[in-house]
Amino acid sequence: MADVAAASLFGADRRLCSADILAPAEVRARIEVAVLNFLSALASPTSPAISVLPLISRTSANCSLRSSLLSDVSSVYLSYAFCKRSLMRENNAKAFVRVWKVMEMCYKILGEGKLVHQRELFYKLLSDSPKYFSCQRHVNRAIQDVVSLLRCTRQSLGVMASSRGALIGRLVLHEPDEEQIDCSILGASGHAITGDLNVLSKLNLSSDARYIIVMEKDAIFQRLAEDRLYNQLPCILITAKGYPDIATRFILHRLSQTFPNMPIFALVDWNPAGLAILCTYKYGSISMGLESYRYACNVKWLGLRGDDLQLIPESAFQELKPRDSQIAKSLLSSKFLQS
């Protein structure tokens, strides 16, 4: 499989790896090359073998931050270091098979000219191969493995992540051949953000807002939407209702590109999870390091600081849970807070 890594089809800058946006035919061609390399190794007359799958490593050791030359945005990037999926290793034999199963399904989907949601893909694979896909996490990880192998975006594979996001405020959305949507006259739930990045990329955006405010909590979003905050403070409100999904990050990035002078503020909880959410909007994530630069924005922290804690009664504090401590340790050891 070393030939696959070296092939021009999968070529990458050895200092910076990224996932390409590809047409369905080219993604299918890359899958075919992977299959041919696998069969070639298996049919070798001298030393037949089941080849390993060389994936770009998605770990903190292979991760750094890069700054844009043309803007003040920094994003996660992955270097040219490999991890491997092998059928011959007991601890990742199933992961090896999952990669091939997902590529098989994506090859079929792209050939039919379709898109599927990640959840829909899980049910298809659960029905087809229940031994290998017992939970959504298996599908999510296998998709990222395929992205790391083929160096193409998840959307290029024909897979859409489900979107939880919504936005409201001083923004007009106009999709070609569709009626425009004035987000300032919507109900408190706002406009649901589609998970189809192709649709989001074609939207025409217009706004007279001065700020963009990203909120972690849907309850805060709905409260400010009910109060029509954007009428007093000309702004666009947006939320992913928790940890940011791809579609919400994508539309936020589009807003930042369309309105480069409009500052973006993030209102998140004062805890490790809130800081992790802020960092994901601002820098991207290691697990999606091949695509992070496509979604990163110069997001500023809006909310409490350490000096403000003296103003808050002790009854308002909560003990950190084990999950909080785990997130805090991960953040402290990451390059996000060391840069």
Residue 339 lies in a domain: no
Across 239-260, average pLDDT: 95
Contact between residue 246 and residue 154 where contact means Cβ atoms under 8 Å apart: yes
Residue 276 lies in a domain: yes
Answer yes or no: do 151 and 173 share one domain: no
Answer yes or no: do 156 and 276 share one domain: no
Catalytic residue, chosen from 107, 123, 211, 295, is 123
> pLDDT, tens digit, for every residue of 210-240?
999 999 999 999 999 999 999 999 999 999 9
Residue 82 lies in a domain: yes
Answer yes or no: do 249 and 326 share one domain: yes
Nearest to 82 by CA among 19, 5, 3: 5
Answer yes or no: do 154 and 170 share one domain: no
Give me the CATH number covering residue 28.
1.10.10.10
Residue 83 lies in a domain: yes
**Environment class of residue 194 by beta-carbon count within 10 Å: exposed (0-12), middle (13-18) or buried (19+)?**
middle
**Could you give the number of structural domains in the chain?**
2
Across 125-135, average pLDDT: 93
pLDDT band at residue 339 using 50, 70 and 90 as cut-offs: low
Which of 160, 190, 206 is the C-terminal boundary of a domain? Answer: 160
Which of 160, 185, 213 is the C-terminal boundary of a domain? Answer: 160
CA 243 to each of CA 62, 139, 253, 285, 291: distance values in angstroms, whole numbers, following the listed order? 23, 19, 16, 11, 17
Contact between residue 33 and residue 149 where contact means Cβ atoms under 8 Å apart: no
Answer yes or no: do 313 and 262 share one domain: yes
pLDDT band at residue 163 using 50, 70 and 90 as cut-offs: confident
User: Which residue range(s) make up the domain with 79?
Assistant: 2-160
Name, in order, each residue with C-beta under 8 angstroms of 166's C-beta and a sequence gap of 6 or more.
Answer: 189, 190, 191, 192, 193, 218, 221, 238, 239, 241
- Quick check: 188 pLDDT over 80? yes
Residue 264 lies in a domain: yes
Answer yes or no: do 193 and 142 share one domain: no
Residue 286 lies in a domain: yes
pLDDT band at residue 59 using 50, 70 and 90 as cut-offs: confident
Answer yes or no: do 84 and 133 share one domain: yes
pLDDT value, residue 251: 96
Across 65-82, average pLDDT: 74
Answer yes or no: do 142 and 204 share one domain: no
Answer yes or no: do 123 and 21 share one domain: yes
pTM for the structure as a whole: 0.85
Give me the CATH number covering residue 292.
3.40.1360.10
Answer yes or no: do 109 and 234 share one domain: no
pLDDT > 70: percent of the chain: 92
Q: For 182-301, where are the alpha helices, taking DSSP H only?
A: 197-202, 218-226, 229-232, 246-258, 272-283
The question of whether 77 is a catalytic residue gets the answer no
Residue 338 lies in a domain: no
Answer yes or no: do 132 and 239 share one domain: no
- Quick check: 9 pLDDT over 50? no
Which of 144, 160, 176 is the C-terminal boundary of a domain? Answer: 160
* End-to-end Cα distance, the chain: 36
Across 120-139, average pLDDT: 94
Answer yes or no: do 200 and 321 share one domain: yes
Residue 201 lies in a domain: yes
